[in-house]
């Protein structure tokens, strides 16, 4: 579990670094990856199941955490768009907001508090 927190922190830090340089595409991509790790942590800690990919993450969320699923589903296109479209600061803000909401709805906000304060 500690390994996931480290990976989450790395993606989050890379997102923050890229955003500070107005490199919004890489920032959005890294924020979404941090969001995915947060979802994996939620699934592992609450369900004791380990998702293997995005499809499994979505399935676990849809069935067991529908509010979190709605949050993730709403920003997934931002992640996929980051590969072929120019991203902007507002896109990054939406992803950071989604990270906060997922932590709150998943009941893991305290566990990630130090990281969440950075965004």
Q: Count of domains in the chain?
A: 1
Residues with Cβ within 8 Å of residue 33, at least 6 apart in sequence: 11
Predicted confidence (pLDDT) per residue in 63-111, tens digit: 999 999 999 999 999 989 888 999 999 999 999 999 999 999 888 888 8
The reported pTM is 0.91
Q: Please give the Cα distance from 101 to 92 (Å, whole number).
A: 14
39 pLDDT higher than 80: yes
1 pLDDT higher than 80: no
> Which of the four pLDDT bands, split at 50, 70 and 90, describes residue 46?
very high
Range of the domain at 107: 2-116
Query: Packing angle between helix 24-47 and helix 66-81, nearest 10 degrees?
Result: 150
Domain at 85, CATH number: 1.20.120.330
Residues constituting the chain: 119
Predicted confidence (pLDDT) per residue in 8-25, tens digit: 999 999 999 999 999 999
Can you give the C-alpha Rg of the chain in angstroms? 13
Residues with Cβ within 8 Å of residue 115, at least 6 apart in sequence: 5, 8, 9, 12
Q: What pLDDT shows up at residue 110?
A: 87
Q: Please give the Cα distance from 75 to 52 (Å, whole number).
A: 20
- Please give the full DSSP string across 34-102, using - where no structure is assigned: HHHHHHHHHHHHHH-----SHHHHHHHHHHH-HHHHHHHHHHHHHHHHTTTS---HHHHHHHHHHHHHH
Q: What pLDDT shows up at residue 112?
A: 87
């Amino acid at each position: 579990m500690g390994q996931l927190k480290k990976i989450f922190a790395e993606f989050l830090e890379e997102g923050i670094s890229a955003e500070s340089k107005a490199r919004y595409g890489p920032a959005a991509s890294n924020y979404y990856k941090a969001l995915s790790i947060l979802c994996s942590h939620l699934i592992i800690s609450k369900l004791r199941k380990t998702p293997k990919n995005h499809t499994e993450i979505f399935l676990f969320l849809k069935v067991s955490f529908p509010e979190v699923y709605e949050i993730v589903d709403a920003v997934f296109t931002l992640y996929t768009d980051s590969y072929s479209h120019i991203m902007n600061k507002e896109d990054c803000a939406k992803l950071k907001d989604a990270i906060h909401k997922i932590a709150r709805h998943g009941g893991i906000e305290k566990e990630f508090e130090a990281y969440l304060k950075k965004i």
